[in-house]
Amino acid sequence: MTTNAKIGYGNLFQLFQAAPANDFVTVAEVTSITMPPQQRDAIEATHTESPEGWREFIPGLKNAGEVKLEMNFVAASDSDSLIRSTFDSDDLTRARILFRSPDSPTEAITMDVIVTNYEVSGPIADKMVASVTLRISGKPVWGH
């Protein structure tokens, strides 16, 4: 059986921009998207009569984690401005990751985010890069 694995080329990260676009805007020159881990707390519920002295757990709250982007940094570009304005906002921002594939429909994760880190590095003998961390609030939605 042949594999269905795909490379990350063509995947896009987008932020919703109310004005002037009133639509999702692609963050340009992204070189890597680290997908959010889904995590869940395990709440200990062990009691004095737990069977055979084994610890017992119940499901706790879920956490969608963070999305991390690496990108080529272009000072004062539309993407730089969009990320900085999203960082400055005191509101949640809608974001989505589009998984592109030429032979299947586009799959997406849509989520509400807060930009928690925007870090730029400008090495003397290499390209300038930016790292962006976005904390997800609530449940991400998978779909087309």
Give the per-residue pLDDT at 102. Answer: 60
Domain of 40: which CATH number? 4.10.410
Answering whether pTM is above 0.95, one says no
Give the per-residue pLDDT at 24. Answer: 95
**Would you say residue 119 lies in a domain?**
yes
Give the per-residue pLDDT at 101. Answer: 65
**Would you say residue 116 lies in a domain?**
yes
**φ, ψ for residue 126 (rounded to 5)?**
-150, 175
Residue ranges making up the domain that contains 65: 12-143
**Would you say residue 137 lies in a domain?**
yes
Number of domains observed in the structure of the chain: 1
Q: Phi-psi category of 95—alpha, beta or left, where left has phi over 0 and alpha has psi -120 to 50?
A: beta
b or e along 47-66 (b: 16 or more beta carbons within 10 Å of the residue's beta carbon)?
eeeeeeeeeeeeeeeeebbb
Q: How far is CA 76 from CA 19, 93, 105, in A?
A: 18, 21, 34
**Would you say residue 20 lies in a domain?**
yes
Confidence of residue 131 (pLDDT cuts 50, 70, 90): very high
**φ, ψ for residue 50 (rounded to 5)?**
-60, 135
Choice between 105 and 45, residue whose per-residue pLDDT is larger: 45
Average per-residue pLDDT for the chain: 93
pLDDT of 47 > 80? The answer is yes
**Would you say residue 6 lies in a domain?**
no
Share of the chain above pLDDT 70, in %: 96
What's the mean pLDDT in 13-21? 89
User: Would you say 24 and 14 are in contact if contact means Cβ atoms under 8 Å apart?
Assistant: yes
Q: How far is CA 142 from CA 17, 43, 68, 71, 139, in A?
A: 20, 27, 18, 24, 10
User: Would you say 95 and 64 are in contact if contact means Cβ atoms under 8 Å apart?
Assistant: no
Give the per-residue pLDDT at 105. Answer: 58
**Would you say residue 28 lies in a domain?**
yes
Give the per-residue pLDDT at 33. Answer: 97
Confidence of residue 137 (pLDDT cuts 50, 70, 90): very high
Instruction: Kindly give, in sequence order, each residue whose CB lies less than 8 Å from that of residue 85, ignoring residues fewer than 6 positions away.
Output: none
Q: Residue 25: which of 75, 81, 67 has the closest Cα?
A: 81
**Would you say residue 94 lies in a domain?**
yes
**Would you say residue 53 lies in a domain?**
yes
The pLDDT tens digits of the residues spanning 77-128 come to: 999 999 999 999 999 999 999 987 666 557 899 999 999 999 999 999 999 9
